[in-house]
Structure 1
Amino acid sequence: MMLIGALLGLVIGAVLGLTGAGGGIFAVPALVFGLGMGMRQAAPVALVAVGAAALVGALQGLREGIVRYKAAMLLAGAGALTAPLGIRLAHWMPSRELNHVFVAVMLVVAYRMFLSSRRTPENGGPPMEPARACRISRETGRFVWNLRTAATLGSVGVVSGLATGMLGVGGGFIIVPALAHFTELKMHSIVATSLMVIALLSAVTVSIAWSQGLALGAPAWAFVLAALAGMTGGRVLAPRIPARMLQRIFSITCVAVAALMLMRGGK
């Protein structure tokens, strides 16, 4: 079981490092199918692995100067307000309904990511028709801050926090498409900023779960440690793979995992 956990963690960390999203989306099904966990048990374990791996990626991005840290802190701060509500909803909803929500979210993510891939140039630059809600200074490469920018990013953070608490995912599957749609950031900066938000949001949610008695066994720890290694490898490979290809592979995999979760039902 430890070997299976390590292999699954390696893959999850690599996906997170490559795309800035999807770590939690894939971590929960991986733990459910690979280690036999239930949805409620898998969610916090997934967050520990995803949060730790995202922290490694965010620190790498900070060293490279591509993390928009003010935006990341706003996104995470807004998300921290709604993450506890998401945790309560997860405990309140029946397992089958929670499973169906998870599947629906994955299909929406797949569709949005595929649409984004059609607008993304092969060099991973900004979309061909960049959104204007959050503008980037051509001189500094940083956000031009105003009320519209703050409100837009704050709203994205609120939705991400709710999803993080309820579904046990890092929120990157919402953050990455949202930043690609609402901002003029380049993809490599979007990924790095998303990783910082995921790390911060996961830390808040995991601390709540830990206070409620979360405990990790040996297979779960193997999963977490391997995810850190996978993240490092993913961040090395990311600049060498076209953003469009990554987005389409991500979309196809989302649909496949959603189908498996739907067949499994809410066990």
Structure 2
Amino acid sequence: MEFIGYIFAIIIGIILGLIGGGGSILTVPVFVYLFHLDAITATALSLFVVGVSSSIGSINYSIKRLIDYKTAFIFGIPSIFGVLFSRSLVIPNLPNIIINDFGITITKHTFLLIIFAVLMLISAYKMIKKTDRKYLKNTIEPNFTLLVSQGLMVGILTGLIGFGGGFLIVPALVLLQGKKMKEAVATSLFIISLNSLIGFLIAQNTTKIDWDFLLGFTSLSILGIFIGILISKRINSNQLKPIFGWFILMIGLITVLKELFL
């Protein structure tokens, strides 16, 4: 199972390299079901993998001058506070048993995985659905209230379950500020890299980190990113996005079934 887990590390990177996102949402299920880590440890390690992977993507987009740093910090600073809130206050104070009524027992481990699975299903839907967004003018003044509230929400979720949240950030930047898709994706990756790495720095204080394992897994994901970038030059990544969406949908459904009924 661990060998399959390392194969998935490369697959995660390939997805990121091909379509610029979506792959990292598989990290937590891989850590939990193939490497048998508990949910708290899995989300902490996922923050590192997501943070490093997003940083690599950010460097590429920074060279192309596609990152809007002003918007990134307007959105990103509240996100950082959200991450701090989740990792410093929410995670440490979650009871081991969340629900224990009517013959139903939901532990902290199960609770976090169910939240993650729901977000996987939403992410899969976004990848499968064909959208035709009407862009606002890029000169539109940023809606600070909505950007700050969205940033805070994304930060809380990032800290809680260790995912990047690009499928929430990108639409927010497109619809609230009129960013073109490439600029929105680039700015989103920069925000995700900040959130995830800060979240990991907090998480490592209360989580035992196997650095040999984590660096090995992350290195394979980075290798996958470069493979994905090479493949993307020959294949239309937009055609592959729904395929990966269906794959993530399947993993999300399996997670829900396993945690609630198996």
Q: The TM-score by the shorter chain falls in which range?
A: 0.7 to 0.9
**Alpha-carbon distance, 1:26 to partner:** 0.9
Provide the residue aligned with 2:60 in structure 1: 60
1:13 Cα deviation after fit? 1.9
Would the aligned equivalents of 1:5 and 1:219 in 2 still touch at CA under 8 Å?
A: no
Displacement of 1:179 in angstroms is: 3.1
| Change in CA separation of 1:99 and 1:41 when aligned onto 2, cut-off 3 Å | same
Alpha-carbon spacing, 1:243–1:13, altered in 2? closer, same or farther (3 Å):
closer
- Aligned twin of 1:140: none
Q: Percent identity at matched positions? A: 27
* Structure 1 residue aligned with 2:113: 99
Which of the residues 174, 187, 192 maps onto 1:193? 187
Q: What is the deviation of 1:147?
A: 5.0
Q: Which runs of 5+ in 2 are unaligned?
A: 99-107
Please tell me whether residue 32 in structure 1 is matched to residue 32 in structure 2: yes
Instruction: Show CA shifts across 1:204-224 (max 9, x none).
Output: 101101222441253332111
TM-score by length of 1: 0.81
In the alignment, structure 1 residue 155 sits paired with structure 2 residue 149:
yes
Equivalent residue for 2:214?
A: 220
1:13-41 per-position Cα deviation (integer Å, ceiling 9, x unaligned): 22223333324311111112221212111
Q: Which secondary structure state, in structure 2, belongs to the residue aligned with residue 65 of structure 1? A: coil
**d(CA) in 1 for partners of 2:151, 2:38:** 27
Q: Supply the AA of the counterpart residue of 2:138.
A: I
8 A contact 1:50–1:170 mirrored in 2? yes
Deviation at 1:55, TM superposition (A): 0.6
Question: Which residue is equivalent to 2:163?
Answer: 169
Higher relative contact order (CA 8 A, sep 6+): 1
**TM value normalised by structure 2:** 0.82
Aligned-partner Cα distance in 1 for 2:109–2:6 = 26
What number of residue pairs does the alignment pair up?
247
Is 2:170–2:188's contact at 8 Å kept on the other side of the alignment?
Answer: yes
Q: What CA distance in whole angstroms lies between the structure 1 residues aligned with 2:119 and 2:178?
A: 25
> Does the 8 A contact of 1:84 with 1:205 survive in 2?
yes
Cα RMSD between the aligned structures?
A: 2.5
Q: Secondary structure at the match of 1:154?
A: helix
Distance in 2 separating the partners of 1:97 and 1:250: 25
Deviates more, 1:221-230 or 1:234-243: 234-243
Q: Do the aligned residues in 2 keep the contact of 1:86 with 1:166 (CA within 8 Å)?
A: yes
Specify the SS of the correspondent of 2:131.
helix
Contact 1:82 1:161 in 2 (8 A): yes
Gaps of 5+ in 1: 120-126, 138-143
Deviation at 1:254, TM superposition (A): 2.3
- Residue 112 of structure 2 corresponds to residue 111 of structure 1: no
Q: CA separation in 1, counterparts of 2:48 and 2:185?
A: 19
